Structure formats: C-alpha cells, structure tokens
C-alpha cells in the first residue's frame, strides 16, 4: 500500500484486487481470445457509464438553480476514484503498462501545444 503513489504500483494493485475470472464473471468466455477481451471491455464500459450517470445526477440539478449537495466533495472523490480504477483496469488489458498511459498523456499534451496550420 505504501507505493500506491506510483501509477504502475496502483495499476498492479487494481489488477490484483479486481480480477476478471469465471468465478466473478460466469458468462465471460473461458478462453483468452477476442471474445473474452470484448466481454471485459464491454463490462468496464458499463461501469464507466454508471459513473458518468452518478456524475450527471450529482451536477444536473445545479443547472436548475438547486445547490450542490452537502456531501458534494465526497461524492466527487468517489466518482473520480472509480473512474481511475476503471481506467487502470482497462489499461491493464493486453499487457499495457501504466507508464504507457502516462506517456500517451504527455504525447497528447505536446500534440495540443503545436501551433495549428492556418
């Protein structure tokens, strides 16, 4: 637990504690192939959608003049945590490393900072 500030250690922790196996997901195809990968991605996408729904339910009333709930910070922290867990779990598929994810963020930033051609 001490090294969870390290993105790779956090991804490893997530993989170990949220495994995809037939005990937890009896409808998941048993052989590691494209069908199993699609099952896992689809399941993770459903959970991401659930988190987006929580975020919308939290924020949408504000558009109509209602105040944010008293426990807004806690709910936001929970939603962001779950987004990160799901992102790291998805990133771990196919053997991707957290470092690769971090590099892709840096590349995206550099791409956005380039002057645009007119």
For the four alpha carbons of 31, 16, 47 and 109, in that order, the dihedral sign comes to: negative
Q: Residues 45-86: pLDDT tens digits? A: 999 999 999 999 999 999 999 999 999 999 999 999 999 999
For residue range 97-116, what is the model confidence (pLDDT) as tens digits?
888 888 898 999 998 887 66
Token pair of 43, please?
């399941």
Give me the pLDDT at residue 114, please: 74
Q: Please state, in angstroms and as integers, the Cα–Cα distance from residue 85 to each residue in 12, 29, 50, 61, following that order.
A: 11, 23, 13, 27
- What residue segments make up the domains of the chain, in order of their start? 7-113
Give this prediction's pTM.
0.83
What pLDDT score was predicted for residue 54? Answer: 98
CATH 1.10.8 fits 7-113, yes or no: no
């Amino acid at each position: 637990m001490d090294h969870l500030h390290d993105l790779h250690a956090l991804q490893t922790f997530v993989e170990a504690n949220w495994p995809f196996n037939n005990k937890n997901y009896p409808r998941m195809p048993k052989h590691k192939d494209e069908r199993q990968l699609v099952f896992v991605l689809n399941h993770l996408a459903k959970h991401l959608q659930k988190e987006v729904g929580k975020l919308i339910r939290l924020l949408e009333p504000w558009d109509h003049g209602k105040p944010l709930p008293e426990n807004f910070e806690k709910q936001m922290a929970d939603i962001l945590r779950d987004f990160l867990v799901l992102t790291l779990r998805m990133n771990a598929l196919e053997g991707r490393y957290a470092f690769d994810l971090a590099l892709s963020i840096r590349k995206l930033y550099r791409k956005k900072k380039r002057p645009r051609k007119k």
